[in-house]
Amino acid sequence: MLRFAPSPTGDMHIGNLKVALLNYIVAKQQNEKFIIRIEDTDKKRNIEGKDKEILEILKIFDIEYDNVLYQSDNLKFHQQFASHLLMERKAFACFCPEELLEKKREEAKKNKIAYRYDGTCEKLSDEEVLNNEKPFTIRIKKPKEPISFKDEIKGELTFLPDDIDSFVILRVDKTPTYNFACAIDDMLNDISFVIRGEDHISNTPKQILIRKYLGYDKEIKYAHLPIILNKEGKKMSKREKASSVKWLLKEGFLPQAIANYLILLGNKTPKEIFTLKEAIEWFNIKNLSKTSAKFDIDKLRFINREHIKMLDSLELSKELGYFSKEIGDLAKLYTEEASTLNEIKEKIDKIFSAKNPPLEFKENFDKIVKAVKEAPYFEDFNEFKNHISKETNLKGKNLFKPLRIALTGAKHGPNLSDIYKHIKNYLGEIVK
């Protein structure tokens, strides 16, 4: 079983979408089930409706799953397993007040050393614990030995006991911390392979430790994906618009193109332009780069153009608010100069809107419009052009510049003869 485990705490980031795509691909390849686990245990950070939005985005990207689970539904199990670890003395109650811990954390920061729990409450006797009525957290005991695991991308990784530390598994309000809930749920959900972002790498030994203490010995495979960098080579933050899947979709990037780009990024693939279905045939996690790749919006724009060209023309036309195969073909022509659906729609809408010629062309423009309105139907652009030339007595750029504006509303664009092929049946609407 594989899983995608988003937190409903914000807009879906392209890094999360990449994680979802790769989990889906691997689940399909291995014929394993794939679940969505909404990690909603941090109530303060949850945003109402984000879970539904995430599921909608998965649908838009054709990422199918077998089930949706909510982590908070497992609260009872998280608490039971924490009590069990307490009984087994693999965890202990910690009464250290938050303010004191905060002070110690700050002190460590000041001295430029990594903060570690100092073990105060681990030393308390049973009596001291039982007689204490103060609120407490539950901390797991740090391991005695280092913990190693093999990452499918990064290779063998080892973490020292001090780096794992005696960390909190249940908060004062008896809700589980992220690491605890995640480790337990991966066990309860019978997960076989975890693919997630490398920001979770230091969590993995903690989650392995939790399950080891519980005696769960099924090995879970891990692959941590390098984070996606921005142009400057820094982590792409949530504040950068292009990091939001919703924003990219709103801008008119096709889901197929975004998926293509994210699978391609930092990967060795047999081709550059492909569909999700094709990627399932050849994707190999071993081909992913260990190092982070930069997000390049120009590359995404190129891939988007290629996917626009691959669309069914009638479907494309509908996406743009029209209903004709010809308009779809016309739109494909505009991939010469436009990359997103929004940019292309702007070009097409201009063709069908009232035109405002610059003053210098106004006179010739009016003559041309009149001639186009009165012209019979011409299949061929040259015949059409010759006819307009004869009727208006205009030639060369005196003809072409205003004619282009009359037909497209723009001064520049694809070849008029190519455009004409697709608009010859709509001239009446275009020069109305």
Among 50, 78, 142, 196, binds ligand GLU (CB under 6 A): 196
The verdict on 409 binding ligand GLU (CB under 6 A) reads no
| Distant-in-sequence, close-in-space partners of 12: CB < 8 Å, separation ≥ 6 | 6, 53, 54, 57, 244, 245, 246
The verdict on 367 binding ligand GLU (CB under 6 A) reads no
User: Least CB distance from residue 291 to ligand GLU, whole Å?
Assistant: 20
Q: How far apart are CA 139 and CA 171, in angstroms?
A: 9
Which residue, 6 or 357, is less far from ligand GLU as judged by CB? 6
Restricting to residues 275-314, name those near ligand GLU by CB under 6 A: none
User: Least CB distance from residue 83 to ligand GLU, whole Å?
Assistant: 23
The verdict on 40 binding ligand GLU (CB under 6 A) reads no
Partnered with residue 235 across adjacent β-strands are 229
The verdict on 42 binding ligand GLU (CB under 6 A) reads no
Q: For residue 350, with 0-12 CB atoms within 10 Å meaning exposed, 13-18 middle and 19 or more buried, which class applies? A: middle
Q: How far apart are CA 234 and CA 420, in angstroms?
A: 47
Which residue, 202 or 415, is less far from ligand GLU as judged by CB? 202
Q: Which stretch binds ligand GLU (CB under 6 A): 3-11, 156-164, 248-256, 330-338?
A: 3-11
Between helix 178-188 and helix 75-87 the angle, nearest 10°, is 100
Among 21, 39, 168, 224, binds ligand GLU (CB under 6 A): 39
Distances (CA, A) of 225 to 8, 17, 23, 263, 265: 20, 12, 11, 11, 11
Q: Which stretch binds ligand GLU (CB under 6 A): 5-13, 81-89, 157-165, 252-260?
A: 5-13
Q: For residue 269, with 0-12 CB atoms within 10 Å meaning exposed, 13-18 middle and 19 or more buried, which class applies? A: middle
The verdict on 200 binding ligand GLU (CB under 6 A) reads yes
User: Least CB distance from residue 188 to ligand GLU, whole Å?
Assistant: 14
Which residue, 75 or 416, is less far from ligand GLU as judged by CB? 75
Among 12, 82, 153, 182, binds ligand GLU (CB under 6 A): 182
Nearest C-alpha neighbor of 199 from the set 236, 248, 252, 156: 236
CB 35 within 8 A of CB 66: yes
Restricting to residues 331-350, name those near ligand GLU by CB under 6 A: none
Pattern of binders to ligand GLU over 125-164, x per CB under 6 A?
----------------------------------------
Measured in degrees and rounded to the nearest 5, phi and psi for residue 112 equal: 55, 40
The verdict on 74 binding ligand GLU (CB under 6 A) reads no
Nearest C-alpha neighbor of 306 from the set 275, 278, 330: 275
Which residue, 196 or 307, is less far from ligand GLU as judged by CB? 196
* Chain residues in the site for ligand GLU (CB under 6 A): 5-7, 39, 182, 196, 200
